[in-house]
Amino acid sequence: MQTGIADITASIPVMEAFYTLQGEGFHQGKAAYFIRLAGCDVGCVWCDVKESWDESAHPRVPLQDLVREASSHPGRMAVITGGEPLLHNCDALTASLREEGFAVNIETSGSSPLSGEWDWICLSPKKFKPPLPEILPLANELKIIVFNRSDLDWAEKYAALVSPDCKLYLQPEWDKAALVTPWIVDYIKKNPKWELSLQIHKYINVP
């Protein structure tokens, strides 16, 4: 649903927003303005932004302020993440960013109903709260976080449910990367439909 410029008077809970490089997946290495929305009901045990979970701990920011700050940077890709961003209605947020010329991407577990108009949907399903079936065929990118060897088999379940054009990524959980990455490399060599995603922003020490 395209909502229009008047909706920038609305606000949304934001943990942080910053200009950096996209560190993961298909758009890795590109300049991007990240908006991390507050609130999460998935609760991954290995989450590296647990401080985003409590929505009440973070301010509601007017959309016009978010868009103004995003527009002050030369990049025109915005990434909406969390927390779990789809806990919030994203219609006005994506409409406002698009009106300023942004391509708008989302990183989501898919566990809440889809809102907003997206140029790219990165679906990262979690065992703790699975994605809604209607979101699966809409994903442009499937990113599976590998924490245990069994996650490689679990990844195939979702690879079979997304569209044939969906990009498939396996990403090592950061704290177990030394152990897990060799598993992923071997698996991709045997199953080349998958690609490796690394969190390069952590290697080069940017947000």
CATH class as words, domain 5-203: alpha beta
Q: pLDDT tens digit string along 55-106?
A: 999 999 999 999 999 999 999 999 999 999 999 999 999 999 999 999 999 9
Q: pLDDT tens digit string along 167-201?
A: 999 999 999 999 999 999 999 999 999 999 999 99
Q: pLDDT tens digit string along 107-144?
A: 999 999 999 999 999 999 999 899 999 999 999 999 99
Q: Of 122, 131, 181, give the one whose Cα is nearest residue 152.
A: 181
Q: pLDDT tens digit string along 134-172?
A: 999 999 999 999 999 999 999 999 999 999 999 999 999
Q: How far is CA 204 from the centre of its chain?
A: 20
CA torsion, points 147, 152, 154, 160, in degrees to nearest 10?
140
d(CA 168, CA 195): 6
